[in-house]
Amino acid sequence: MAVIKIDKKAFFHNIEIIGKKADGLDKVALVLKDNAYGHGLELMASLAQEAGLKKAVVRTQDEAKLIESYFEYILVLADIPERVENKMTYTINDLESISQFPCGCRVELKVDSGMHRNGIDITELKEAFDLIARYELKLEAVFTHHRNADALSSEWFWQNENFKEIKSQASALGKEYGFSDLRFHSANSASLFRHSSFDEDMVRVGIAAYGCLEMDSSFGEIDLRPALSLYADKISTRILKKDTALGYGGIHSALEDSKVSNYDFGYADGFLRHCSNNYLTPNSVKLLGRISMDNSSFESEEKTLLIFDDAQQIARSAQTIAYEVLVSLSRDIVREVI
Task: Express each pLDDT in 203-213 by its tens digit.
Answer: 999 999 999 99
Q: According to CATH, what is the number of the domain 229-309?
A: 2.40.37.10
**Which residue of the set 9, 241, 248, 303 is catalytic?**
248
Residue 253 clears pLDDT 90, i.e. is over it: no
- Ordered by start, the domain boundaries in the chain are 7-219, 229-309
Q: What does the pLDDT look like over 200-241, one tens digit per residue?
A: 999 999 999 999 999 988 888 899 999 999 999 999 999 999
**Residue 145 gets which letter from DSSP?**
-
Give the start-end residues of each E strand in the chain. 3-6, 28-31, 55-58, 73-76, 88-92, 106-110, 138-143, 183-185, 203-205, 228-240, 245-246, 252-253, 258-263, 287-288, 296-298, 304-308, 334-337
SS (H, E, C) 244-303: CEECHHHCEECCCCEEEEEECCCCCCCCCHHHCCCCECCCCCEEECCCCCCCEEECCCCC
Q: What pLDDT score was predicted for residue 66?
A: 98
**Which residue of the set 21, 33, 110, 167 is catalytic?**
33
138 flagged as catalytic: no
Cβ(41)–Cβ(69) below 8 Å: no
State the pTM of this model.
0.95
Distance, in Å, from the CA atom of 6 to the CA atom of 211, rounded to the nearest integer, reads 11
248 flagged as catalytic: yes
Cβ(290)–Cβ(273) below 8 Å: yes
Q: According to CATH, what is the number of the domain 7-219?
A: 3.20.20.10
Distance, in Å, from the CA atom of 327 to the CA atom of 36, rounded to the nearest integer, reads 8
Which of 84-98, 176-190, 242-256, 323-337 is predicted least confidently? 242-256
Name the band, by pLDDT with cuts 50, 70 and 90, for residue 63: very high
